[in-house]
Amino acid sequence: MDKSALNLIILDRDGVINYDSDQFIKNPEEWKPIPGSLEAISRLNQAGYRVVVSTNQSGVGRGLFDMATLNLIHDKMHKSCALVGARIDAIFFCPHAADADCDCRKPKTGMMEEIAARYGLGSLKGVPAVGDSLRDLQSASAMGAKPYLVLTGKGSKTRAAGGMPEGTRVLADLAAVVAELI
């Protein structure tokens, strides 16, 4: 692991931190944390980790909600974290619809490249990256990050479908990932 990356962890949002929805999380009221996830982020903070979120938010590109609403959802997430002593250092997101052919939408690596650049890392080698979908794992693995699949959100379906990158760790939820890391 790159020594400068020892204190960074990358989390997907929907299905890892909060409950996911096939109809998208379209407003702050629909954003509900998965039990134990915010406390897990607090444990990461206490262990010296910088917690960043990398999330596809195609609902913006599809016109289901606007950037102001996405900001309100993220504000609720930040405030909910603060209530349990947790902190998310940065949120990286792709607002484009799946057909936009952008470089930032996972499984492409644009967001991961941006995270590496923001934190001055030559590589994300060994950085834990937690997701519930194959595209989360593929994006992480392509950048050398250590993929973790959680079985919350779409995780159980992702595991059943197979085809995960080599070395993917499969754990019940974010709290279980954090317990393994620290």
Is 14 marked active-site? yes
Parallel/antiparallel/unpaired status of strands 169-171 and 90-94: unpaired
Q: How far apart are the first and last CA of the chain?
A: 16
Catalytic residue among 2, 12, 20, 136: 12
Starting from the edge strand earliest in sequence, which strands make up the sheet with 146-150, in order?
90-94, 50-56, 8-11, 128-131, 146-150, 169-171
- CA-CA distance, 123 to 145, in Å (whole number)? 8
Identify which of 65, 119, 64 has the alpha carbon closest to the alpha carbon of residue 92: 119
Catalytic residue among 2, 14, 132, 136: 14
Contacts of 20 (CB under 8 A, 6+ apart): 14, 132, 153, 154
What is the CA 132 to chain-centroid distance, rounded? 9
Residues annotated as catalytic (active site), given as ranges: 12, 14
